[in-house]
Amino acid sequence: MRTTVFSTPIITPILRVISIFLLKIMGWKARGKELEHQRFVLIGAPHTSNWDFPLMLMVVLKLRLRVYWMGKHTLFMFPFGGLMKWLGGIPIDRSSSHNVVSQTVRQYRENEELVVLVPPEGTRKRVTKWKTGFYHIANLAKVPILLGYVDVGIKEAGIAEFFSPTGEAEKDMVKIRAFYAQKKGLRAENS
């Protein structure tokens, strides 16, 4: 896998210190512990604002995660494409099927450690139904799902617990969604 903001010598430790400082002065707490073995699908919800992105970067840096995240392909256009990829981005064209699930599963098979962050809502707008690609990736790759969250009500963001998919997507999604039921995004009206 390529070098990103989360794995660049010299720069990553400096950005980690800056992130810890900024979180502190903004009054946000980053919850979770550093994880030695990083092989899972990370979901981040609720995703309600463009400000989720810099908050996610700071929390991930503080927790020493090495994350790749999926974002709409238009974020990767000139002149910001290279920067977005260095920030861990993977462009996804949602206008048609590109076998993203199978391609991502293949990456898990080829890499001993891999963390892919997927916003299950697929958008910053309010949604009633989550996209299930993250679930199918985890299930087919036989890796757990780590529940990442933002909760503006208590100014906290981080990682909580692992969820192991059973293959029964509908039942599992109910359990996963239950964890997020009381979490409020940065734009609460979109949570």
d(CA 142, CA 191): 29
Helix ranges (H only) for the chain are: 11-26, 52-62, 81-86, 100-110, 133-141, 169-180
pLDDT tens-digit series, residues 65-101: 999 998 888 999 999 999 999 999 998 886 766 789 9
Residues composing the chain: 191
Q: Residue 125 pLDDT > 80, yes or no?
A: no
Query: Distance between CA 78 and CA 155 in Å, rounded?
Result: 34
15 pLDDT above the threshold of 70: yes
Contacts of 100 (CB under 8 A, 6+ apart): 70, 92, 133
| pTM across the whole model | 0.91
